[in-house]
Amino acid sequence: MSSKEDIIKKYRANIRERYDMPDLSDIKATTYPDPLKQFVKMSEAVGGQVIEVEAGRDVNTLIRELFPEAKEIASNLPEITISTRNPDTIGSAQALNGTDVGIIRGVFGVAENGCIWIPQHMKEKAVCFISENLVIVLPKSEIVNNMHEAYRRINFNDYGYGTFISGPSKTADIAQVLVMGAQAARTVTVLLMP
């Protein structure tokens, strides 16, 4: 038994009163007449950029136009041909240090808060956090209204890891000065694909 399992076992042994889980079926979660429009609004409100990609537009050219100075681009997406690093073939997460642009795929977006569900589809998930600029490729048809709908859609693959990402990393902890990229990407661009 692992130390985590030991700790959980001790907690359970000392529970004095148990409560049933509440019935969540009656929750009237917020819905939107146009979830895509709300998703764009919330993504931009948290500091992200959203671009609706036209059908037939070359995504590689678009990314080069958005980040013309980028030298190191990390992605394992088959349609991304401008990648200089592949998070599936590098030796360690540290090899992603210095990544100018990381390009990943989102499964679905959440209209109420601009979050995007990102399951780990790469060997080194550090690309999601170490990249200076993060580009998330997301089908624009995959937007849910709220986190209640989102949690029902979450599926884990063999990696067993996923995260919600909403806009660039930011903090204003010190002297109430907003700092972008404090813990992760300085910018997040969502490419809404047809």
Per the listing, tokens 């806009």 go with 167
Asked if pLDDT for residue 1 goes beyond 70, the answer is no
Q: How many Å apart are CA 94 and CA 164, to the nearest integer?
A: 22
**Which token pair is 120?**
């780990």
Instruction: Give the per-residue pLDDT at 180.
Output: 75
Backbone region of residue 35 per phi and psi (left: phi > 0; alpha: psi in -120 to 50; beta: other values): alpha
Per CATH, the number for 29-193 is 3.40.50.10420
What band does 89 get if pLDDT is binned at 50, 70 and 90?
Answer: very high
The string of DSSP letters for 104-160 reads EE-SEEETTT--EEEE--SS-TTHHHH-SEEEEEEETT-EESSHHHHHHH----TT-
Strands 133-139 and 187-193: parallel
The string of DSSP letters for the chain reads --HHHHHHHHHHHT-----PPP--TT------SSHHHHHHHHHHHTT-EEEEPPTT--HHHHHHHH-TT---EEE--TT--S-SB-TTTSSSGGGGTT-SEEEEE-SEEETTT--EEEE--SS-TTHHHH-SEEEEEEETT-EESSHHHHHHH----TT--EEEE-SS-EE-TTTT--EETSSS-SEEEEEEE-
**Which pTM value belongs to this model?**
0.85
What band does 124 get if pLDDT is binned at 50, 70 and 90?
Answer: very high
Q: What tens digit of pLDDT does each residue of 14-67 get? A: 888 888 878 877 888 999 999 999 999 999 999 999 999 999 999 999 999 999
Every domain of the chain and the residues it spans = 29-193
Q: How many Å apart are CA 16 and CA 21, to the nearest integer?
A: 16
Q: What tens digit of pLDDT does each residue of 140-182 get? A: 999 999 999 999 999 887 888 999 999 888 787 777 887 777 7
Answer yes or no: are the C-beta atoms of 131 and 104 closer than 8 Å: no
